[in-house]
Amino acid sequence: MSLTSRIEPYKGKPGPLVGLAQTGSERACTVNSWQEFVPEVTLPYLRLRRLKVLATAARSFPASKELYFGGNAPAKWVVYFCYAPNGAPTVSHRFTVERLQSEGYGVLVVCAAPTPEHTKSFLDLTPDALIWKELRGFDFSGFSVGLSALVRRFDKIDVLVMNDSVVGPFHSLRPLLDSSPWDLTGFVTSYTIENHMISCAFYFRGFDRRMWDACRTVLFRGISFNRQGPVVFLQETRLGSVLARSHTVGSILSPSADHRNNQYLLGNPKGLLDVGFPFLKRSIFTKFASEFDADFYRDCLVSYGHPEITASA
């Protein structure tokens, strides 16, 4: 199968391999495009481990409060989860909201902050809706809060769900997402623990009460988790498999057979951008900054019109 230089919109069948060129210290690799999601058979020991984690890690659901919901009723929305322990939006938050709105999305910001008062500075970003959530509960509780607010208001809408662990979008989302044939579309598939879609961003087409109910054992409404491990183990790694029981599920990118252990969101981030992937992981500039060429990625941000990112911005 020949390589293509960019990710193309879906054209009625699985896409060709996409070649990621070597960039800086990151290695070259190939990834599949537009692959239907095939859940793995969950082994009994994994089910048992999940039950034990659920029993020991579950906590009450965080409090939330709707602060603003504008009069717009676009057909396509974004639930954008932002973690703001000091209540201040970052340059990346502003960039993301502006880019999403420029493509016609209504942006519902779910902001995790100490109090509702801390969250009000996010109104300066002019989101279409703003909801405060307690700091605890991680991103999946924020996803549940945002989706619940939308499903109460609209019979059926398309919804992009994302968190602020990614920066962007640096490329237009509409050509890819509007062409997707699936009810749930992930951006990237991983094979860690079991086949699943990485939860930094995913897209519901025709999201309605039925789909919301189908997610109830993953997007919990009454419990949450205060540690990342249980969130990954009980929510992120199960979303695609659970929804595939009743809906169609697929992913824009997934590892080719010889790269299933390659974490290419961090293994070749510039290569992904070059082929049209819309996001960069924020941790390139913060948590894992020492592992990347700082000047190289600073210039990359500037070339896409994004302000410089520091550990506090």
3-state helix, strand, coil in the chain (%, to 5): 35, 25, 40
* Mean per-residue pLDDT, 187-215: 91
Could you give the angle at the alpha carbon of 53 between the alpha carbons of 52 and 57, nearest 5°?
125
> What was the pLDDT predicted at 258?
55
pLDDT, the chain, mean: 88
Helix (H) or strand (E) holding 43: none
Q: How far apart are CA 151 and CA 154, in angstroms?
A: 5
Provide the pairing of β-strand 157-163 with 76-83.
parallel
Helix (H) or strand (E) holding 47: helix 44-57
DSSP string, 225-281: -SSHHHHIIIIITTHHHHHTTTS-EEEEEEE-GGGTT--HHHHSHHHHHHTT---EE
The number of CA neighbours under 13 Å toward the Cβ of 211 is: 27
Mean pLDDT is lowest, of 11-20, 53-62, 218-227, for 11-20
* Mean per-residue pLDDT, 121-135: 96
pLDDT band at 300 (very low <50, low <70, confident <90, very high): confident
Please state whether the predicted TM-score (pTM) of the whole model is above 0.75.
Answer: yes
* Mean per-residue pLDDT, 286-301: 80
- Of residues 24 and 128, more confidence is placed in 128
Q: Are 160 and 203 in contact (CB under 8 A)?
A: yes
Mean pLDDT is lowest, of 45-59, 117-131, 230-244, 296-310, for 296-310
State the CATH class of domain 36-279: alpha beta
In 3D, which of 165, 178, 200, 170 has the Cα closest to residue 279?
170
> What was the pLDDT predicted at 308?
83
- Of residues 82 and 284, more confidence is placed in 82
Residue 287 DSSP label: T
Q: Is it the case that residue 160 has pLDDT exceeding 90?
A: yes
Q: What are the backbone dihedrals phi and psi of residue 87, each rounded to the nearest 5 degrees, phi first? A: 80, 0
User: Where along the chain do its domains lie?
Assistant: 36-279
* Mean per-residue pLDDT, 82-100: 96
pLDDT band at 80 (very low <50, low <70, confident <90, very high): very high
- Of residues 285 and 122, more confidence is placed in 122
